[in-house]
Structure 1
Amino acid sequence: MNSKVSFSAASKDYQMGRYTQSLATLNQLIDSQQDAKTYALLAKNLLQLGFKADAARSYALAAQYDSPNAYEYHKQAARLHFECGNEDDALLIGMRNLSKAQDDAELAYILTSIYLNRQQRDIVKPFKKVLSESSNPDHSRLAALLLTDDLHDQTNQMLARNLFKRYPGNIAFRFLYLVFLREFNDFDETDKHSAPIIERIAKGDLDVLRKDNPFYHLHWNGDESLNRFATIGTTPLNPERVAMRRKMPHTWSDKIRVGYMSSDFWDHHATMKLLQRILELHDTSRFEITLFCHTEPEHLAKNTTDRSRWGNVVDVYGLSNEAIAAVVREHNIDIMVDLKGHTAGSRASSFNLPLAPVHVAWLGFPGSTLNIDLDYVIGDRFVLPDAAKPHYHEKFCRMPESYQPNDPTNRPKPKPITRADLGLPEDAFIFASFNGNRKIIAETIDIWCNILKRAPNSVLWIMSNGTRNQENLSKRFQQAGIPQKRIIFCPRVTYEEHITRQQAADIGIDTFPVNGHTTTSEQLWGGLPVLTVKGTNFASRVSESLQHAIGLPELVAPDLKAYEELAVELAQNPEKIAEYKARLKANGPIMPLFDAERFCHHLEKAYEMMAERARNGLDPDHIDVPALPRRTEPFYSAE
């Protein structure tokens, strides 16, 4: 057979749509002529006849030859294997062309889809850029799943910007872009791009909120009745599955087995600066504590504490939800506690599988953990007042003083320092804001400007994330007529330095609708009183809770107007500030806020009350934990 004539005939048959005849000719030809062109044409015929898997193999054979089209043949083979569900074959081809995939959105899409499905996010980080730049909507949607927790990562910023600019009508991409604008205090752009959303809400279109991230939603919307609509990335709960989980057979023991799940089980994380001492104090004669840890390895490498003091640590990092559920059930946990909620790095979705008879939310997320199967949310009477009950699917478990634990043992005490040491003015009244910059909204800045104008001998000391934040914040102050010299920026420093430097200010000034949480308790620990305002949802009520627990309820203003008035009054009464600082020093060792032992007893009582209901086959119900008698002696030395 003349191979040249035969290939021409096969090619002509293909062009005329005679795929079976072309295929027959090619099969004869393969015995005498094996080359890229022949296998590629064979693949095209097989594909037209509906034999995708065979076509993929033919393209792979075509790619083996030294041909200018070898990479394209590889890519076609990978695509067809992927569409057929032959992921291992697609990966094998993709990994051979890994360097090219970083510049080829089609191959990057295939590899990313497979690795995300296998919970292997780290491998696909290099593909985020090329996918975000692609004009293919499927590529863009996949790129959005590659966003990491780091809002300061330039690739993340570029991805959010590209997605929004390309699809301005996509509400989810608009919300995503707004997260980055708020992170950097870009107030003008935030106002501009949030306006269409605000207009739709004003017209009663609350479904628009379903495209917002539950956590970042709280940073701009303090309306508790609206917070429950921000549900992107979640799936509605199935009440039948929840009921089934609660009724599943379970073997109880003399001890209550409590499991905590988090990605923050390393000693430098803010959560552990609150929680560490509580874990150390759990009564092991009555409770068995297991930590289900999905902490990033890079964070664990920084840990210096013996984590076995906190409980039995079980590594579930990188496991699927189903695998996590299997591990948890092996330990026969009675009460499973999620410490993350809808925050970065969460695996709260695993709670939608049966983990334990009792599922609990605590500490990580300041609100209802929407669409996650949870029986209780731990709070207190300030963050979870009765009026909030209609907005939660969880039942309230209210601690008697504050929901926030604090660690007086492992937390450093402030050291002596002067304003001169920090370059601060000696004769000015200093308001301080150490909250995360994303918590500072335009309305907050406007009120701060009013305060500075009415208290002329005052300055504002703000912790800044970086140059971009400083520029945007400075611009807003200058637009309001506040001279640059009255705004003093400070960088992030080590935890020990931060605890010490806070006392150089006169008073901390809180943000809204998200207060300082750990930040507020750190200021109170460092000897700095904090002025806050009564909030309208969990996230905006935290400082109120902490102020009551340390004995400074007068610093909770009833509304924003009173907040401004009180700030101005305090700036004119240094003796009042001295009184508050003295009270803080006296209250710290005896009031509940930093009393980890007392808190642990209350928490264990809460677990006993939850377990008792579950043992008796009763559905979860609201619980108010009774308070122990007040202390009469200090539990630590303030010196």
Structure 2
Amino acid sequence: MNTILATQPTRADLTVDEALQFANDRHQAGDVRTAAEVYQQILRSHPDHVRTLISMGLIARQKGSSTTALELFRRALDLNPQESEVHDALGELWYGQGMLDEAIACYRRALELNPQRVDSLTDLASCLRLCGELTAAVPLYQRAVQLQPDFSVAHSNLGETLLLLGRLDESASSHRRAIQLRPDVAEFHNSLAVALKELGRLDEAICCCRRAIELKPNFSKPYTNLGLALMDQARGDESIACYRRALQLDPTDRVAGSGLLFARNYFPGNDPHVVRAEQRQWNDTHAAPLSQDIPPHTDDRRTERPLRIGYVSPNFRGHCQSLFTTPLLSAHDHEQFEVYCYSDVVNPDATTERLRGYADHWRPVHRLSDEQLANTIREDRIDVLVDLTMHMAGNRLLTFARKPAPVQVCWLAYPGTTGMAAMDYRLSDPSLDPPGQHDQLYSEQTMRLPDTFWCYAPLESSPPVSALPAASGCGITFGCLNNFYKVSDLALRMWAAVLKEVVGSRIVILSGGGSHRQRVLRTFASAGVHADRVDFVPRQAPADYLRLFHQIDITLDPAPTNGHTTSLDSFWMGVPVVSLVGRTAPGRAGLSQLTNLGLPELIAHTPEQYVRIAAELARDLPRLIELRGTLRDRMQLSPLMDAPRFAGNMEAVYRQMWKRWCSGGQP
């Protein structure tokens, strides 16, 4: 070793272990070149030195030479199969290549040899999390932080996993512990913000995002999460500004781009051309580059043959979308339509299993990349591929950008547009999109279902309809249980006018705690409505949320964006909805649903008419009692709950799209 370190005269007499330590120190300091030279010299004199082989393999992996790294690790493993470090290093190599099963096996072997190896515990937990084995990952992270209490990253990763499991308070606690250990890490504050937002603690979430931005001004992710939190407070302009700032910092941030386009459904602004330009920008940045080398589709072009229909969603689970996927999937004609479901669910539940029973083929795909999923769909030879998520969280739009099916269509997430050239069609209905009125706003060709965009199946554990609250003589209770981001200034002004018109009435509003409640009270106070007439209720478990309708006589639909699922829940619980028709499709949901229910008298076309309809209905107790007792039956007899009819309409549209493709026609 004397000649090895000739450039380090004070270290000329180092032993092999001392030389290895010197090289490791140089490696950790970022001096990879010196470290590699020393490792190579050690191996020339001691070719079977296992720890040096491992260290040299780590450098090879760092330089992107996976083949060399694998050879070095396997050589070390042959020499000493009981060395936990080499199993861990192999695990990291497989993990980096996306070979999670192989990585898991290596990490488990490393832990068999050394149960207290903290890196292996956290790496195994991360692999299991990616595989959807969230429950198994939690105790591994917990064991790691027990062994090494100051391991801040492990605390944060534990928090991320608990968040995915819905254990929100525990998630926030883990993130807080990470921040206590490293208050200077912006990522930890950003992660805590996500947990706090899910807990409905929006003001705290906003503070965490802003702290993350202070610590790391060019970090795009806290701007995206700040946009989400501000959106939940119905602070639309500020939310849009945050998404735009995130995209300025990182134009390739697909999540921020999708967040912006999703928010535009609720805060469209006054210039539709601006929104359309934002959609094109997302497509040009993220989707269009993936469409350059799409191979031709070779599907059998017989127009009347049975078709393969594929549905892609992360929400085949206990999610409100299951209220709509259930009736469609359960009523498909399986002789003419072979149903494939590509389930991107990380944490399956009882609803997942129920939906699985309606599909001919069920593909769990949460471990697949967008490219791998596209290849799977192409191998399945899907004829019509349906996106159920659009720009909502967990979307797979970059799978659709690769055009794995000849016909691609979006539906259900919301009645808007993906902005993608690769998406051929969007589904709607004549009320949401009157022919010729909105077509220029969408990148896709609009196909209108004859009756309704929605077909609803109520929650299996939904409570019975209650008696009308006002019948007890306690006065009228209005309500809005929609997501708060739909509660616009226009909606608040109309609701305040309704309460002022109906003496002794009150309103129940679904809203987490925070400063946005004060905005509601200020608006009502300016109209002469006292705060004691306003009740705020937090988010509830599904069955408890439905029981809130037992307190409500009349639902006041928000505007300019209406309720969708919430309005159908309201009808199911016997509570009529008064709705104002908006100028965009999301603002015409009330028109669509009330038309299908045969209740056009509850549809308003001006704010003044909205206030008058609500006030007149509030004064007509016999009519309210009659609606309370008949709305559920009316729902069941309408197209809104006629699953066979709806499925038949969907299938007819699929067939029409298919015939157009077979004939060589464009969407």
Q: Give the TM-score normalised by the residue count of structure 2.
A: 0.69
The corresponding residue for 1:125 is 157
SS in 1 for 2:438: helix
The corresponding residue for 2:276 is 228
Residue type of the alignment partner of 1:256:
L
The corresponding residue for 1:511 is 558
The corresponding residue for 1:368 is 417
Query: What are the residue-to-residue correspondences of 1:331-480 with 2, within 5 Å?
Result: 331-371=380-420, 373-385=422-434, 386-407=436-457, 412=462, 414-417=464-467, 419=469, 426-464=473-511, 466-468=512-514, 472=518, 475-476=521-522, 479-480=525-526
CA RMSD of aligned residues (A): 5.0
SS in 2 for 1:588: helix
TM-fit CA distance, 1:618: 1.6
Residue type of the alignment partner of 1:255:
P
Q: Is the 8 A contact 1:219 1:439 kept in 2?
A: yes
Q: Is the 8 A contact 2:469 2:476 kept in 1?
A: no
Residue type of the alignment partner of 2:7:
A
| Percentage identity across paired residues of the two chains | 22
Distance 2:29 2:510 in 1: 65
Change (3 A) 1:77 1:307: closer
| CA deviations over 1:175-194 (Å, ceiling 9, x no partner) | 531321342x3x7xx48956
| CA deviations over 1:280-325 (Å, ceiling 9, x no partner) | 111112111111111122x425656363234421211221112212
Q: Is the 8 A contact 1:149 1:345 kept in 2?
A: no
Query: What are the residue-to-residue correspondences of 1:494-533 with 2, within 5 Å?
Result: 495-496=542-543, 498-499=545-546, 502=549, 504-533=551-580
TM-fit CA distance, 1:271: 1.2
SS in 2 for 1:238: helix
Change (3 A) 1:536 1:167: farther
Change (3 A) 1:243 1:8: closer
Q: Indicate whether 1:308 and 2:330 are aligned.
A: no
TM-fit CA distance, 1:597: 1.6
Distance 1:326 1:301 in 2: 28
The corresponding residue for 1:264 is 315
| CA deviations over 1:444-494 (Å, ceiling 9, x no partner) | 333322322232221102234x44488546654675453333123345555
Residue type of the alignment partner of 1:392:
Y
Distance 2:628 2:562 in 1: 20
Q: Give ranges in structure 1 of 5+ residues lacking alignment.
A: 14-24, 61-69, 103-107, 201-207, 621-639
Q: Is the 8 A contact 2:573 2:632 kept in 1?
A: no
| CA deviations over 1:52-91 (Å, ceiling 9, x no partner) | 765799999xxxxxxxxx9xxx999979954656698597
| CA deviations over 1:577-632 (Å, ceiling 9, x no partner) | 45655774664343322222211111111011011111222221xxxxxxxxxxxx
Which residue, out of 4, 18, 25, partners 1:34?
A: 18
Distance 2:387 2:237 in 1: 37
Residue type of the alignment partner of 1:263:
P
Q: Is the 8 A contact 2:639 2:645 kept in 1?
A: yes
Change (3 A) 1:161 1:502: same
TM-fit CA distance, 1:519: 0.9
Which residue, out of 610, 613, 620, partners 2:657?
A: 610
Identify which of structures 1 and 2 has the higher relative contact order when contacts are C-alpha pairs closer than 8 Å and 6+ apart. Answer: 1
Residue type of the alignment partner of 2:325:
L
TM-fit CA distance, 1:378: 0.7
Distance 1:192 1:613 in 2: 41
Q: Give ranges in structure 2 of 5+ residues lacking alignment.
A: 44-50, 71-88, 96-106, 111-115, 138-155, 161-174, 246-252
Distance 2:617 2:598 in 1: 18
Distance 1:45 1:199 in 2: 37
SS in 1 for 2:555: strand
Q: Is the 8 A contact 1:402 1:549 kept in 2?
A: yes
TM-fit CA distance, 1:345: 1.9
Query: What are the residue-to-residue correspondences of 1:166-185 with 2, within 5 Å?
Result: 166=215, 173-174=222-223, 176-183=225-232, 185=233
Change (3 A) 1:195 1:390: closer
The corresponding residue for 1:204 is none
SS in 1 for 2:198: coil
Distance 2:237 2:458 in 1: 45
How many correspondences in the alignment? 564
Residue type of the alignment partner of 1:388:
H
TM-fit CA distance, 1:9: 6.8
Distance 2:513 2:23 in 1: 57
Residue type of the alignment partner of 1:345:
G
Distance 2:182 2:60 in 1: 23
Distance 2:30 2:481 in 1: 65
